[in-house]
A and B are shown apart, each in its own frame.
Chain A
Amino acid sequence: MIAALLSRIGQMALVIFGISVLVFCIFFATPGADPTARIAGRGASPQVMERVRAEYGFDRPLPVQYMRMMEKLFVSRDLTSFVNHGQQVVPEVASAAPVTLSLVLWAAFFWVIGSLGIGIVSAVMRDSWVDRFLMVLGLVGLSMPVFWLGEVVNLFTQSRWHDTWMFRWVPPLGYVPLTENPLGWARSLLLPSLTLAVSFMGLYARILRSELLSAMGEDSIRTARAKGAGPVRVWLWHGLRLSWLSYVSLFGLDFAQLLGGGALLTEVVFALPGVGRLTYQALATLDLPLIMATVMYAAIFVVIANALVDGIYALLDPRIREGQHGR
C-alpha cells in the first residue's frame, strides 16, 4: 500500500518535471528568440536587459537557466514580471487561485446536481417526450459557447433588466472574497458558475443517461429486482453504482483543467480575477514569467486531480484495486 503510494507520488513528480522541461523549452529555448528581451518587455533599456540576463542566467547553459527558473518559481518564489511593473508572479497566482477555486466549486456543484437529475430522469423515462426534450436541452447547453452565454447573461442581468425585481440582487461584475462577505461571495459567483456549468451539465447528463441505460440491462440489475428491491432502489443504488465510473473519471479531469485555468473565458467575461484571467492577461502581453507560472500551476493541478481520480476509482470498483497492485 505504502509502496504503491510512493510509486504514485514518484510518477506524479516525474510527469510534473517533464511538463516543466517542455514548457521551459518552448518559451525560453526556442532558437531565434531572445528570452531576455521577452521578459524585459518591449522597449526596455539596456540596463534592464542586462539585469534580466544576469538574474535568469541567460548567458549560461540551458540546464542552468532551467534550474534558475525552477528555483525562482518554487524555492525563492520571486519570479518577477517586468511587463507588469515588477509584479511578483507567484503571489499573483496564489491570490488568483481562490477565485478560480470558488468559481469551479460552485460550477461543479451545479453541474453535478443538474446532470444527475437530468440524466436519471431521462434514463427512467427513456424514449418519452420528457427524455427527448431533456436531451435536446442538453445538446443546446452543450453547444452554446460559454463566452456568448456569459455575455448574454451579463446583458440581461447587468444592463437590460438589472433594475427589475428579477435581477436587482445581482452585484456588479467582479469578485467578493469569502472572508469579507460570504453572502456577497455567493452572489458574485452564482451567475458565472451557472454559466460555466451549463455546457458541462448537458454533456454529463447525456453520458450518465447512456451509461445508466446500459447498466440497467446488466444481469446484476435483474438480480436486484429478483431480490424484491423497488424501482427507486434499483435505479439509484444498483444502477447508479454500476454506471458512474466514467462519470467520475471525466469529472476529475474536467474539474482539474478548470482549476488550472480552463475557466478562462468565464473569468474574462465576468471579470473574475482568477487564474484563467491571469493566463489571458499573460498571453495578451506575452508576459513570459507569468505564463510559465500559470502553466506550471495548471499542470500540477491536473496531475494531482488525475491521481485523486485513480484513488476514487479504486474505492468505487474493487476490481481495479487489485488490478493495480497485483495479487
Chain B
Amino acid sequence: MGAEALLDIQNLKLDLPDGRRLLEGVSFQVQVGEALGVVGESGSGKSLTAMSVMGLLPGLRASGQIVFAGQDLVGLPDKSMRKLRGARIAMIFQDPMTAFLPVRSIGAQIDEQIRLHQPLNRREARARTVQLLGRMGVPDPAMAAKRYPHQLSGGLRQRAMIAMALSCSPDLLIADEPTTALDVTVQAQILTLLREIRDEGAGVMLITHDMGVVAQACTHVAVMYSGLVVERGPVRDVLDRPLHPYTQALLAAIPPLEGPRPEQLPTIPGQPPTPENRPSGCVFAPRCSFVRPDCAVRPALIETEEGRRVACVLYAA
C-alpha cells in the first residue's frame, strides 16, 4: 500500500457527545481503481465510517485522519467539505426509494447535483443526466428522467441513484449496501455496473454484510467488528484463507453451494459488544474459540504477509 492512496483512513475514532466511543480506530486505504469491500455485522461501524468520510455526521466527534487525495477531511470546515461531497466523493445509499426526494422527478434531482458543482445551464445538465441514465442501462432515459421515484422499479431507481452519484465523475464512490433492497438479478447487474466504474479508474468503497457481493465486486476487503478493522487484504486471499477467527467464523456461516449440506450452519455464539461493554482487550475475545490469556491486550493490526493485515494474537510475530 503506497503513500499515494486515494483514501487513507488512519486510526479513525468517533465519539458520541456523552463520551461513548463508536469507532475504536479504523484504518484502511482505498487505491485508485480498487474496490474495497467493508464487511461486518450491523453495528460494526461500517456505515459510520462511510458517513465520516462524507462528513455527514454532525454531533459526533471524529479524531484520527481521513486523508482523501492528500487532504485531511477530519475537521475540514463544512464549506470545503461541500465542494468535495457529490463532486469528488459520491455516495450511493441503500434504499433508493427513500433516498430520492419523492416529490421531484429523478431527472431534476440529478440535474441539481450536476449544477451544484458545474457551471452548466438547465438544458446542458439535463442532457448530461439523460446520457448518464442511458449509460446506466436505463431504457428510454429521456422519458425516465421525467418520472418520479415511485414510478420506477427498484432496479431502475438504484441505477438512477448510481447515475446521480457518478454525475460529477467522482474519484471515490461510496456505496452503502447498494444491493440490499434489490432482488438477485438486479443485484448482479448493479454489481457489474460498479465493476465497470472501478475499471474506469474510480476508487470504490462498498459497504455490505454479504460476502457474496464482496466476492463479485471487490478487489480488497476489510472486515470490521465492533468499531475496529480486524482483518484486511486482497479479496481472494481473505476469502480463501481467512486469518482472523472472526473472519473464519463469518465465512463458515455461509451455506456451501456444493457438497453435502450441513445439518446445522455454524453460528458465532454470543452477541457483538455494544460501545459501553466493549472489552479493553481483543474485541472479539469473548466470542472467540481460540481465546488466550494474551487476548486481554488489544492486538494491533499488523502486516502478516504482503498486503495482508490482521489484528490477532495468533499471528503476532
User: Which A residues fall within an 8 A CB radius of B?
Assistant: 218-220, 222-231, 238, 241-242, 316-319, 322
B91 proximal to A (CB < 8 A): yes
| Interface residue from A227, A241, A242, A319 paired with B86 (Cβ < 8 Å) | A227
C-beta contact mask, B121-135 vs A, less than 8 Å → 1, else 0?
Answer: 000000000000000
User: Given known contacts A219-B95, A226-B56, is B87 in contact with A242 (CB within 8 Å)?
Assistant: no
User: Given known contacts A242-B103, A318-B103, is B116 in contact with A227 (CB within 8 Å)?
Assistant: yes
User: What separation, in Å, do the CA atoms of A319 and B151 have in the docked complex?
Assistant: 9
User: What separation, in Å, do the CA atoms of A241 and B54 have in the docked complex?
Assistant: 24
The answer to whether B148 touches A219 (Cβ under 8 A) is no
Residues from 268 to 298 in B contacting A, C-beta threshold 8 Å: none
Residues from 79 to 129 in B contacting A, C-beta threshold 8 Å: 82-87, 90-91, 93, 95, 98-105, 112-113, 116-117
B164 proximal to A (CB < 8 A): yes
| CB neighbours of A225 from chain B (8 A) | 54, 56, 85
The answer to whether B83 touches A319 (Cβ under 8 A) is no
User: What separation, in Å, do the CA atoms of A33 and B264 have in the docked complex?
Assistant: 85
User: What separation, in Å, do the CA atoms of A112 and B101 have in the docked complex?
Assistant: 24
Q: Which residue of B lies closest to A321 (CB)?
A: B148
| CB neighbours of A319 from chain B (8 A) | 102-103, 148, 150
User: Which B residues fall within an 8 A CB radius of A?
Assistant: 54, 56, 78, 82-87, 90-91, 93, 95, 98-105, 112-113, 116-117, 148, 150-151, 164
Shortest distance from the beta carbon of A148 to any chain B beta carbon, whole Å: 41
The answer to whether A223 touches B100 (Cβ under 8 A) is yes
Q: Which residue of A lies closest to B90 (CB)?
A: A226
| Interface residue from B82, B98, B150, B164 paired with A318 (Cβ < 8 Å) | B150
Shortest distance from the beta carbon of A214 to any chain B beta carbon, whole Å: 14
| CB neighbours of A224 from chain B (8 A) | 101
Shortest distance from the beta carbon of A249 to any chain B beta carbon, whole Å: 15
A-B contact pairs, 21 of them (CB 8 A): A219-B98, A219-B99, A222-B93, A223-B101, A225-B54, A225-B85, A226-B54, A226-B56, A226-B90, A227-B164, A228-B85, A228-B113, A228-B116, A229-B112, A230-B82, A231-B78, A238-B101, A241-B103, A242-B101, A317-B102, A318-B150
Shortest distance from the beta carbon of B118 to any chain A beta carbon, whole Å: 11
Q: Which residue of A lies closest to B81 (CB)?
A: A228
| CB neighbours of A218 from chain B (8 A) | 98
The answer to whether A318 touches B148 (Cβ under 8 A) is yes
User: What separation, in Å, do the CA atoms of A6 and B56 have in the docked complex?
Assistant: 49
Shortest distance from the beta carbon of A48 to any chain B beta carbon, whole Å: 61
Q: Which residue of A lies closest to B174 (CB)?
A: A226
| CB neighbours of B93 from chain A (8 A) | 219, 222-223, 226
User: What separation, in Å, do the CA atoms of A231 and B148 have in the docked complex?
Assistant: 24
Q: Which residue of B lies closest to A238 (CB)?
A: B101
User: Given known contacts A318-B103, A319-B148, is B98 in contact with A226 (CB within 8 Å)?
Assistant: no
User: What separation, in Å, do the CA atoms of A238 and B54 have in the docked complex?
Assistant: 19
User: What separation, in Å, do the CA atoms of A225 and B57 have in the docked complex?
Assistant: 11
| CB neighbours of A228 from chain B (8 A) | 82-87, 113, 116-117
Shortest distance from the beta carbon of A159 to any chain B beta carbon, whole Å: 51
Shortest distance from the beta carbon of A30 to any chain B beta carbon, whole Å: 49
User: What separation, in Å, do the CA atoms of A228 and B78 have in the docked complex?
Assistant: 10
User: What separation, in Å, do the CA atoms of A231 and B55 have in the docked complex?
Assistant: 14
Shortest distance from the beta carbon of B128 to any chain A beta carbon, whole Å: 15
- Looking at A224, A241, A242, A316, the one whose CB has the most chain B CB atoms below 10 A away is A224
| Interface residue from A220, A227, A229, A231 paired with B98 (Cβ < 8 Å) | A220
Q: Which residue of A lies closest to B168 (CB)?
A: A228
Shortest distance from the beta carbon of B50 to any chain A beta carbon, whole Å: 10
| CB neighbours of B164 from chain A (8 A) | 227
4 smallest beta-carbon distances between A and B, as pairs: A228-B86, A219-B98, A228-B85, A227-B86
| CB neighbours of A230 from chain B (8 A) | 82
User: What separation, in Å, do the CA atoms of A226 and B90 have in the docked complex?
Assistant: 7
Shortest distance from the beta carbon of A215 to any chain B beta carbon, whole Å: 10
The answer to whether A227 touches B85 (Cβ under 8 A) is yes
User: What separation, in Å, do the CA atoms of A322 and B103 have in the docked complex?
Assistant: 12
| CB neighbours of A238 from chain B (8 A) | 101
Q: Which residue of A lies closest to B102 (CB)?
A: A319
User: What separation, in Å, do the CA atoms of A219 and B117 have in the docked complex?
Assistant: 21
The answer to whether B116 touches A220 (Cβ under 8 A) is no
The answer to whether A220 touches B101 (Cβ under 8 A) is yes
| Interface residue from B83, B86, B117, B151 paired with A226 (Cβ < 8 Å) | B86
| CB neighbours of B148 from chain A (8 A) | 318-319
The answer to whether A227 touches B112 (Cβ under 8 A) is yes
| CB neighbours of A231 from chain B (8 A) | 78
User: What separation, in Å, do the CA atoms of A238 and B113 have in the docked complex?
Assistant: 13
- Looking at A223, A224, A231, A318, the one whose CB has the most chain B CB atoms below 10 A away is A223
User: What separation, in Å, do the CA atoms of A230 and B238 have in the docked complex?
Assistant: 41
- Looking at A225, A229, A319, A322, the one whose CB has the most chain B CB atoms below 10 A away is A225
| Interface residue from A226, A241, A318 paired with B91 (Cβ < 8 Å) | A226
User: What separation, in Å, do the CA atoms of A75 and B105 have in the docked complex?
Assistant: 47
User: What separation, in Å, do the CA atoms of A318 and B100 have in the docked complex?
Assistant: 13
User: Given known contacts A318-B148, A318-B150, A319-B150, is B103 in contact with A227 (CB within 8 Å)?
Assistant: no
